[in-house]
Structures are given as structure tokens and as C-alpha cells.
Structure 1
Amino acid sequence: MEHVDTANPYVVFDRVQKTYDGEELVVKDLNLSIEKGEFLTMLGPSGSGKTTCLMMLAGFETSTFGEIRIDGVAINNIPPHKRGIGMVFQNYALFPHMTIGENLAFPLEVRQMGKSEREEKIRRALAMVQMEAFANRRPAQLSGGQQQRVALARALVFEPELVLMDEPLGALDKNLRETMQYEIKHLHEQLGVTVVYVTHDQTEALTMSDRIAVFNDGRIQQLAAPADLYERPENAFVAAFIGENNRMTGAVEEYSEDKVSVRLEDGSLVQAKNVCASGQGDQTTLSLRPERAFTIGNGDSQPVNCFDGKVEELIYLGDHIRARMNICGHDDFIIKLPNASSKLTLKVGQPVKVGWAAEDCRALDLSEDGPVHSD
């Protein structure tokens, strides 16, 4: 067996581009390295290029320019069935005329594996997804969740080192989807395989991934661990796409490399951490997570950002109250108040002071109007 240098990335996209019509690039000069054993999620809205990247890695699409390598070997000209990659799709792609056992046997027969070895691998793969008792049933006799478990077992049965998943949980209901997220995460930890996962669901990406590549317009906007993406978005698109986000636009009045003062359209002056602003007079979008803002009572110390507001709406969500406020000329400013607090005596129409720390508010590039939806 050849010695594999684990210091080198396992999957590499090297300046990869893709166009279908010869004019418009759906993937633009993509450079991405994925480590062996990593769970990397490609996240983005429809048409952002994430699925095209997965299909080029699988071999179902060909890159127009650039090179894709697995374990140091260029795979551009290797057909899909010779890449040794496990695949899981949203629609399960099980053979309806075969039993579950026969579905799992198929990739092993293609690899000309002996009968006893096949049976042992099938038994082990079904045990991994708690489906041992279903080997003799056909797909039509199973629920959607059971079929997805079988599709997962079939992708893992020949023990590939790389597994690609394209929106695999998209057809499942919310509770089952959440259960399967944890099951796939635990299987990944247990097996140590490299997983490249595509979804438009940000919660799914945050739950499962070691790192997330956020795609938009054919490019990776940011590549980082889940906590980094949420806490430290590098541009307005990422801030809006990952989690809920208060956005306010204004002009930079005082500038330094670390901090800026931003004059909002209603005249309010906000202190913020400088991420993208390059100088005085720059237009910028401020990003603030709803859980980072807080109400200020009489006698409380005031943070550097402190503004008068009014409660517009209160929604009880069990573990927290979602308060919509009118602040700094915005009537859609959201604060999340934890339900552990004894201070939750807010009423609609009540005037209230609201504050937040300068380092929790990020000055980003000027975003387009309107929220970014992940569906």
C-alpha cells in the first residue's frame, strides 16, 4: 500500500470553472481544499453553484476549466463508477424491483466481491442504520425515513473513503430530518469517512459540519467552521444567510482599522467593529444578531450603543421571547430575550431603551435590499 501524506488535502478543486452555455459561469474560479475525514457542507441558495460542484466531484458533470483531484490524483477524465465515491440523493434512487439486501449487494457485485464477504458487509451496513430486520423488504414497503436510511447504508456498504450527499434529507418531515442529521453526524464520527454535503438549509449545515462553504453567484463567499460563520460573517450576504440578523445601513463617519462610527439614515450614530469598511464616507451595512441586543432598565449601566425604542410586537416562543422593536428608524429590529429572565414584563407600545456592544455589531459591505432566503 502506498504511503499517503495526510498533510496534503484529500479533495482539491483547483481553479475550477463551469459553464453550460459557453458564456455564463455557474462556478467561477473555485479553489477549495477538503481534508481527509472532514465533514464539509456546501451551503447556498438555489442556483449558487453548490450542486454543480458536487456533480463535478461525482463525475456527472465535467468542469469547463481547472482540475479536481482526489488523494493527489486528477479525476477529470475518470468515469463516475471508477471514482469509488458513495452517493446519497434526496430521492433515495433505490431500485424498486430489488429487496433492500439486493439494493445493497449491487455496488458490491459491481466490484466483483465474493458472496460471503458481500453478506457480511450488507449485514454490517444495515446494522449501522438500524435496518437489519428489513433486508427482505422492497423499497415500496418502507417509509421515507427508512428508505433514506437504506440509501445511506448503500452509499457506505463498499466502505468508500469519500461520500457525497445532495440534499439527502429534503423530503423528510422536520422531526425525522433532525433525527437523521444527528445520525449522519454520528456515523461520520464513527467511520471517519470524508463527507461533502450539499444543502440550502442553514440549520442543517450548522448542526452537522466541521466547515461550511457558503456559496452565492458561483463563488464561495466564506469558508469557516459553523461558529465562525455565525459569529464572524465576512460580508453582508453571509450575515443575512446564516441565522437571523438585524441590518442597518449608513455612512462611516469616524474610521479606524478596528472600529468605525456609522451615521444611520435617521441620524443615529452607531459604534461597530470594522470588517469591510475601507474609509470615511463609505456606505456600510451593520449586522447585529438579535440575541446580542438587550433591554436596559433604570440603573443599568449603559453600553456604548444605547437607543430609545418602542415595542411593536411580542411573540412567545417557549425558550425565548421574540420582540420586534422600532429603533433607529427601523420598525423591524428584532431582539431575542431568554425566557429565564424575570425582567420579561415588556408590553406592546411600551417605550424601552435598547443597547448592544460595539464588538457585537459588524460593519460589512453595502448589501442589496431585502432579506436573503435560504429556500
Structure 2
Amino acid sequence: MSDAFVAFERVQKSYDGETLVVKDLNLAMPKGEFLTMLGPSGSGKTTCLMMLAGFETATHGEIKLDGKPINNIPPHKRGIGMVFQNYALFPHMTVAENLSFPLEVRGMDKSKREEKIKRALGMVQMEAFAGRRPTQLSGGQQQRIALARALVFEPELVLMDEPLGALDKQLRETLQFEITNLAHELGITVVYVTHDQTEALTMSDRVAVFDDGRIQQLAPPDELYEKPKNSFVAQFIGENNTLEGTVEQISGGRCTVKLDNGEMIDAIPVNVSKAGERTRVSIRPERVEFNPELGPDAHTLEAEVKEFIYMGDVFRTRLKVAGNDHFIVKTRNRADQVRLDPGAKVKIGWLPEDCRALDAT
């Protein structure tokens, strides 16, 4: 971890002295990385961000910034930019005064302050709003100003806690793109907290998936989605189909699973190690095909249509497969798409390499 710009070393956090909300966290980030901490409420991600910011103290372990321990350094001396969901702008100050505040605190002279404010407002395309107060701005504009204020003193590290949570979908997607571009352009390191998986996959260099105070998997977005390490990650990241069964045999990087309805399928063994183990097999909805022509390796199963949903760019079909009433298949909206009626019997299939045998719990 010696060359890490941000490092958590065996960090734990308890609020009551008994229950750990963060458990033995080890995490190293290089300079310039955009890392997202993703997880459900109560998983420990925001607590980690607050410990890094200095608003919470680690119960055990060490947090380092650029190789130096920062556990005992107060928040205002860490030189970290912060962006929150609620913007946290001073309502009685103009936009320019809000941006000037962190520079005044650092003792910067007026001409230098004005230069930096102009540059920061330019970054977020808000130069024309310098004289307005936050109440005269829309939610999206306020969030741009909050971002500009976090960047105005040119920090090397910016922390963002659900910054786009209060915005509508279209604006959120626009700002996701702008924030990512800006971070890479300026070469700043970003730790971003969200419970929105699409946001995490879209914006990040790497994603740390949290559950129960631990990182369940830390990987680039495509690896998280394509190669989940356990059932929690498979279920939490994107849509996922599961079929329950028992491992029959493992050999040559493949395992055979006997599903609970008696069907036999092959999968890649991820966290199963021997015959007789219970497993939950994971298959992504877009990897399943109707009336498949996938070659001799493919699995073909009988299915019954439960629901056929038009979603614009895709059709989402809910099926009953091997005893699972909520097996989803996603197909692209094409001119030749046949509408499937509930009760219809269909054949579906997929390749063994798209199927992962994960833990049963």
C-alpha cells in the first residue's frame, strides 16, 4: 500500500463499542482514480467516506493520505473537497461568495480568489450566475455550484456523498458524464458514494461493493457485472437470474449442477469447491436466448411465459424456469419480435460460460 494515494489499513468503526459498522477494511487507491463505494443503506460506505473526511473517527486501524496518517488531523486541515446531496451552500451568500469562502479560510488574497472563482465557475458552465443566491437557482444549478466550491481550491482529493440523489433522471445522467470528465481532465482523485448501481457502473474506474461493513468485491465495472464473486454482488449489480441446485461434479474449470427440479446444467465454479455443495447459479437476462441456436455446448430448458413487458428499447419477458417464477429474459426491440402471451411454452438457452455457480446464501 506504500504507493497508494488513499489507504485504509485494517480500519474498523463502531458507534456503540460493540457492533462494527465497518469491519477490518483494507483499501488502496492510486492518485487520479475515480472509485465508487456502492452498497445498500447501512452497509458502511458512508461511514468510510466520513472517516476519510474527518467527520468520524476510526475505532481501529489507520487512514492515510499520500502516505501520511490523517486519523488525528481535523477535517479543515485535510485539504479535501466535499460535495453532498443537499448542496450545503450558504443561502445568505451569492454564488461567488460561496466559492470565495474556502479560499478566504486558506488566507488567499482577493485577486487570486477572483481568478480561481472564475476558473471554477467556468468548469461547471456557471459563469453567468456568480451574483445570484442559491435560492435563485434550480437543483441542478445548485449542485454545479457545490461541485465548483469543492474544486475551487484545487484539492487533490474530492469526496462525493450521493451528490446526484435529489435530481431527476435526465439531469442526473448529464451531471454523471460531466463529473467523470472533469475528474479525469483535472487528474483529481474521487471517492464517490452511491446506492445507485447504474451510476456506479457508468462513472467509476473501480467500484467497491459494500455489504455488512465489508467490501464484498472491488473491481472495474465490467468485471463486477460479468464476473461477480458471490451471490450478493450478482444480485446487487444489475438484474440477475438465479437457479438453486447441488454441485454434482467439478473438473476442468467447469462444474455440473443438478437443479432442484432435476435438470442438469454446466457452469463456471466461482465459490463452490466440491460435489454435494448447495449452489445458486447466476445468469444475466441478456445472455439468455429464445429458441436458441448456440451450438452443442448450450443448455436448453423448457419455460412458461408469465409476463411480456414492452420497455421501449427492450422487451422484458418473465418466465417460469426450473421452478423459478421470476426468470427474466431481455431481448432487443426488433421489427421481427414476436409478442409472447402468458401461458405460452417456449425454449430458452444459454452458454455454460455465461453461467456462474455461486454461494447458496
Q: Which residue of 2 aligns with 1:105?
A: 100
Q: More displaced, 185-194 or 214-223?
A: 185-194
Q: Which residue of 1 aligns with 2:156?
A: 161
Superposed, which structure 2 residues align to 1:46-61 within 5 Å?
A: 46-61=41-56
Q: Which residue of 2 aligns with 1:319?
A: 313
Structure 1 residue 73 displacement after superposition: 0.4
Q: Which residue of 2 aligns with 1:180?
A: 175
Which amino acid is 2:56 matched to?
E
1:350 aligned onto 2:307: no
Q: Which residue of 1 aligns with 2:207?
A: 212
1:273 aligned onto 2:268: yes
Superposed, which structure 2 residues align to 1:38-53 within 5 Å?
A: 38-53=33-48
**Alpha-carbon distance in 2 for matches of 1:345, 1:162:** 51
Structure 1 residue 301 displacement after superposition: 4.6
Residue identity over aligned pairs, in percent, reads 66
Instruction: Indicate which of 4, 19, 22 corresponds to 1:9.
Output: 4
Structure 1 residue 259 displacement after superposition: 1.2
The TM-score, its normalising length taken from structure 2, stands at: 0.97
The TM-score, its normalising length taken from structure 1, stands at: 0.94
- List gaps (5 residues or longer) in structure 1: 1-5, 368-375
Q: Which residue of 1 aligns with 2:288?
A: 293
Equivalent pair of 2:246/2:277 in contact (CA under 8 Å): yes
Q: Which residue of 2 aligns with 1:143?
A: 138
**Alpha-carbon distance in 2 for matches of 1:232, 1:329:** 25
Equivalent pair of 1:248/1:287 in contact (CA under 8 Å): yes
Q: Which residue of 1 aligns with 2:259?
A: 264
Q: Which residue of 2 aligns with 1:370?
A: none
Equivalent pair of 1:49/1:218 in contact (CA under 8 Å): yes
Q: How many residues align?
A: 361
Q: Which residue of 2 aligns with 1:329?
A: 323
**Following superposition, which runs of at least 4 residues in structure 1 exceed 6 angstroms of deviation?**
none
SS in 1 for 2:234: helix
Q: More displaced, 33-42 or 348-357?
A: 348-357
Structure 1 residue 347 displacement after superposition: 3.2
- List gaps (5 residues or longer) in structure 2: none
**Alpha-carbon distance in 2 for matches of 1:354, 1:25:** 45
Q: Which residue of 2 aligns with 1:243?
A: 238
SS in 2 for 1:101: helix
Q: What is the root-mean-square deviation in Å for CA atoms of aligned residues?
A: 1.5
**Alpha-carbon distance in 2 for matches of 1:131, 1:332:** 47
SS in 2 for 1:45: coil
**Alpha-carbon distance in 2 for matches of 1:293, 1:302:** 15
1:366 aligned onto 2:348: no
